[in-house]
Structure 1
Amino acid sequence: MASSSSSSVLFMISAVILSSVLAVVSASNFNQDFTITWGDGRAKILNNSQLLTLSLDKTSGSGFQSNNEYLFGKIDMQLKLVPGNSAGTVTAYYLSSQGSTHDEIDFEFLGNLSGDPYILHTNVFSQGKGNREQQFYLWFDPTADFHTYSILWNPQRIIFSVDGTPIREFKNAESFGVPYPKNQPMRIYSSLWNADDWATRGGLVKTDWTQAPFTASYRNFNANACIWSSGSSSCASSSSNSNAWLSEQLDSTNQGRMKWVQKNYMIYNYCTDSKRFPQGFPPECSMS
């Protein structure tokens, strides 16, 4: 899939360096930052609250959510995905508000047969409307080690990044009549669950329960974000220097990196699916 040009080699070298730098994120405390919400003991906080694991067996999956709500933020989490034959499983890591008109920003990792690549599925919901999927393969094995998955969410744009490399940007398109997630505080959620009715090859490949329990691991959570509490934002009293991410945008280097990823690793983009939108693409697609 990837080209063998010198620019591609340079990109990969820089990505490895970025990955190494990002691996030295200050450790979080999962007991302070998150609550295990379901799974009947299948989710565990370990290593002096520095590691969280979710597991899935034939009876149940598991999940957790953040104790804080956020209204804009730059959020990082390191994940190591289910290894081996993970077909049928989904590891979801996302921001969401509640209700029928909820906002949501999604990373979903669709399991695979051993030797096949994971699919990284992304989506953005605003005012209850989603259907904005982009999907990617990754340029590394996401089960062999931890990698950093990041969401930058500010009033102008949402940027999805992997190991510091942007893979997708969703811009505020309110001027085109498209609602943008900016008024509803969201929590961080994650879950590991069985979705073999659709996750792998459209549901053709089912979960092999002889491989259970399936386990995904989390570490080094970091949120440089506006915490929403009692109707007000923590950013209202913060210095502008500490909130530079609130106006952050992609510079030319990162725009080039994102284009490289999309050229070589994007496998689905709703903004190019003419069969799905025979009457014309959604208005935000014209901003891409």
Structure 2
Amino acid sequence: MAVSLPPLSMLFVFFVFYEVVSFRITSTPRFDELFQPSWALDHFIFEGEQVKLKLDNYSGAGFGSKIKYLFGKTTIRIKLVGGDSAGTVTAFYMSSDGANHNEFDFEFLGNTTGEPYLVQTNVYVNGVGNREQRLNLWFDPTKDFHSYSILWNQRQVVFLVDETPVRVFTNKEKQGIPFPKDQPMGVYNSIWNADDWATQGGRVKTNWTHAPFVASYTGFEIDACECPLSMAADESARRCSSSEKKYWWDQPVMLDLNPHQSHQLLWVRANHLVYDYCTDASRFPVTPPECDHRHHP
């Protein structure tokens, strides 16, 4: 079956646009400068600049950033588990701490052989989530590495796949809707078993005869405002929310999608979105307030 791709002209314009406005605060391809294992070190495989995480019926594995950040962009290149990956979840996300935490999620939901991965995104603000969207991808994410990014500034949170925006969460504080802007967040990656819900609502369980399930990571980048652990949250917020617009992500051109990106987002939603909490009347008889009068989906 033929699969359409985002127009190359759109991708080219975005790459040029990004390179022109970027002022890199932190950027390095080395895993050990940015990250450290957070659990199950015996389920890690280190191969040069590539890190692999294993999931078996004993444990999954995960790693996290050494410090936290407030605004900026984080990118990682991932090759997902191939073959029968039903029941597994490979996650790339940002999160702060505590019950009232903020969180931005990419969750890659495994499936049986030959069926597409579903990519679930979610946004938590002050501990409240339930903002799931799911899409399938326009490529096989198990055959090669692809980049997944989260761009975060005071105006919007943008989820990107190979620099194509697939979701935007816009700041609507003027309408009384909370926006994540004052809690530094770590960057995390993990693989784990979630066969109670991950594949077809939990109907398809993990087949452990296919273990170990291996996800591969490379291209580690964090271009963001650093918040050392010794720095208080309010001090971090002042430091990273400068009114002088000294950070590249606060430049006016970064505060909204440009026309090309907007077209890309519309293309993704028209061709690949399979679930949006905003239109799920069974879960939300009253439409969530951030879904009304949205500038961006």
Instruction: Give your verdict on TM over 0.5.
Output: yes
Residues 27 and 219 of structure 1 are in contact (CA less than 8 Å); yes or no, is this contact kept in structure 2?
no
SS class of match (1:183): coil
Q: What's the secondary structure of 1:74's corresponding residue?
A: strand
Post-superposition shift, 1:173?
Answer: 1.6
Q: Match for residue 39 of structure 1? A: 40
Aligned counterparts of 2:14 and 2:189: Cα–Cα separation in 1: 22
Match among 273, 283, 291 for residue 266 of structure 1: 273
- In the alignment, does 2:290 pair up with 1:284? yes
Equivalent-residue separation in structure 2 for 1:74 and 1:268 (angstroms): 25
Partner letter of residue 251 of structure 1? N
Aligned to 2:22: none
Who is 2:153 aligned against? 154
Q: State the SS of the aligned residue for 2:190.
A: strand
Tell me if 1:128 matches 2:127: yes
Corresponding residue for residue 250 of structure 2: 246
Deviation at 1:16, TM superposition (A): 7.8
Q: How much does 1:46 deviate? A: 2.6
SS at match of 2:249: helix
Aligned equivalents of 1:264, 1:123: Cα separation in 2: 19
RMSD: 2.5
Contact 1:18 1:163 in 2 (8 A): no
Distance (whole Å) between structure 2 residues aligned to residue 281 and residue 102 of structure 1:
23
The superposition leaves residues 98-155 of structure 1 with CA deviations (integer Å, 9 ceiling, x where unpaired) of: 1110000000000011100000000000000000111100000000000000101101
Find the counterpart in structure 2 of residue 223 from structure 1: 222
Instruction: Give the C-alpha shift of residue 157 in structure 1.
Output: 0.4
Partners of 2:269 and 2:280 lie apart in 1 by 15
Instruction: Confirm or deny: 8 A CA contact 1:75 1:224 kept in the other structure.
Output: yes
Structure 2, unaligned runs of 5 or more: 19-26
Distance 1:254 1:236, change over 3 A: closer
On the 8 A contact 1:101/1:129 being kept in 2, the answer is: yes
2:88 corresponds to which letter in structure 1? T
SS at 1:130's partner residue? coil
1:170 match: 169
State the SS of the aligned residue for 2:148: strand
Give the equivalent residue in structure 2 for 1:188: 187
**Residue of structure 1 equivalent to 2:62:** 63
Equivalent position SS for 2:100: coil
Cα distance in 1 for partners of 2:219, 2:151 equals 16
Q: Structure 1: 5+ residue runs without aligned partners?
A: none
Does structure 2 conserve the Cα–Cα contact (< 8 Å) formed by 1:86 and 1:113? yes
| CA-to-aligned-CA distance 1:86-109 (integer Å, 9 cap, x gap) | 000000110001111000000000
Q: Structure 2 CA distance, aligned partners of 1:205 and 1:281?
A: 30
Instruction: Indicate conservation of the 8 Å contact 2:77/2:219, yes or no.
Output: yes
Tell which deviates more after alignment, 77-86 or 37-46: 37-46
TM-score normalized by the length of structure 1: 0.89
Question: What letter is aligned with 1:195?
Answer: A
Per the alignment, do residues 260 and 213 of structure 1 end up closer, same or farther by CA in structure 2, a change over 3 Å counting? same
Q: CA deviation at 1:223?
A: 1.3
Shift of 1:156: 0.7
- Matched residue, 1:212: 211
Cα distance, 1:129–1:236 mapped onto 2, change above 3 Å: closer
Cα distance in 1 for partners of 2:107, 2:87 equals 13
Measure how far apart 1:218 and its partner are.
Answer: 0.8
